[in-house]
């Protein structure tokens, strides 16, 4: 017959558990302090690196991307800081200036594309608008995405719509695109035709007529598409934001 543990043994076991917990907390605290010190050293080294290579970061797109990755690795966002060391470097100024130019291009084109523009067309227009003064400062799609992200402070007027296969659309007018609207845009992009119809959405996406009509009706109301009634079989909806992709395809 097994003997039950005595009161003394139980108390001893509880004391040992308390000691283990205290020791575990002490180890975790020491590890946290060590990691904090390491991150502070990394931060100081990053500031020194940024000071030394300030011009390269602003002019060289690949260098800039690698610098952003180093910042992200230790939780530093130089674009989010408006004061202190990072603002002195002026690294964020590059993206703020780019953001203003993005707004200008979008405002100049939304009368014909309804406020939707591909990232590639936006980049092409920006490079042309920046002119010779900025010809040595390369602009990448990653730069544009980072700048548009900063424009979100103005609300849902500026956002990015993923199209798949590394393609993006920039929306520059207020209005929330839901999943169905995104699927329509992705379908048009995959077709490479710049237009779509109810029957295509029903056949290719398996939608009901009501669902397809609802999605397209919203996009018509928002001015994102042009309505073409010339086809004798059905109405076609053209996306001017996709015209450039259609021509290049």
**Residue tagged 């329509």 (tokens):** 184
CATH of the domain spanning 177-249, picked from 1.10.10.10, 2.60.40.10, 1.10.10.60, 1.10.260.40: 1.10.10.10
Alpha helices in 53-176 (DSSP H): 54-59, 61-73, 84-89, 91-113, 119-130, 141-150
Return d(Cα 139, Cα 134) in angstroms, integer. 10
- What are residue 170's DSSP bridge partners? 117, 160
Rounded average pLDDT over 208-212:
93
- Give the pLDDT band of residue 200 (cuts 50, 70, 90): very high
Q: How far apart are CA 18 and CA 10, in angstroms?
A: 13
- In this prediction, residue 88 carries a pLDDT of 45
Are 98 and 143 a contacting pair, CB within 8 Å?
A: yes
User: Looking at 74-83, 155-164, 182-191, which range is the least confident one?
Assistant: 74-83
Q: What is the pLDDT of residue 212?
A: 93
- 241 secondary structure, DSSP code: G
Average pLDDT in the chain: 77
Which H/E stretch holds residue 230? none
Per CATH, domain 82-172 is 1.10.10.10: yes
177-249 shares the fold of 82-172 = yes
Q: Where are the domains of the chain?
A: 10-73, 82-172, 177-249
CB 190 within 8 A of CB 249: no
**Residue 225, both tokens:** 């598409």
Segment 8-33, tens digit of pLDDT: 666 767 776 776 676 666 666 666 67
The residue among 123, 163, 159 whose CA lies nearest residue 140 is 123
Q: Note the pLDDT tens digit of each residue in 118-135.
A: 999 999 988 888 775 555
């Amino acid at each position: 017959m097994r003997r039950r543990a005595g009161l003394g043994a139980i108390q001893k076991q509880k004391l040992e558990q308390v000691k283990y917990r205290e020791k575990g907390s002490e180890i975790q605290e020491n590890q946290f302090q060590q990691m904090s010190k390491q991150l502070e050293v990394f931060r100081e080294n990053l500031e020194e690196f940024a000071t030394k290579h300030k011009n390269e970061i602003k002019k060289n797109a690949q260098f800039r991307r690698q610098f952003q990755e180093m910042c992200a690795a230790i939780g530093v966002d130089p674009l989010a800081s408006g004061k202190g060391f990072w603002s002195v470097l002026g690294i964020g100024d590059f993206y703020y200036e780019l953001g203003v130019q993005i707004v200008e291009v979008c405002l100049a084109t939304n009368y014909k594309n309804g406020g939707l523009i591909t990232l590639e067309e936006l980049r092409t227009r920006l490079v042309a608008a920046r002119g010779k003064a900025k010809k040595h400062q390369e602009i990448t799609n990653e730069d544009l995405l980072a700048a548009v992200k900063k424009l979100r402070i103005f609300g849902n007027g500026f956002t990015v719509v993923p199209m798949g296969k590394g393609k993006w659309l920039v929306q520059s007018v207020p209005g929330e695109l839901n999943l169905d609207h995104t699927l329509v845009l992705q379908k048009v992009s995959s077709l490479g035709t710049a237009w779509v119809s109810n029957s295509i959405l029903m056949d290719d996406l398996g939608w009901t007529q009501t669902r397809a009509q609802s999605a397209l009706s919203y996009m018509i109301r928002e001015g994102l598409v042009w309505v073409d009634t010339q086809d004798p079989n059905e109405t076609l909806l053209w996306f001017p934001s996709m015209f450039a992709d259609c021509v290049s395809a």
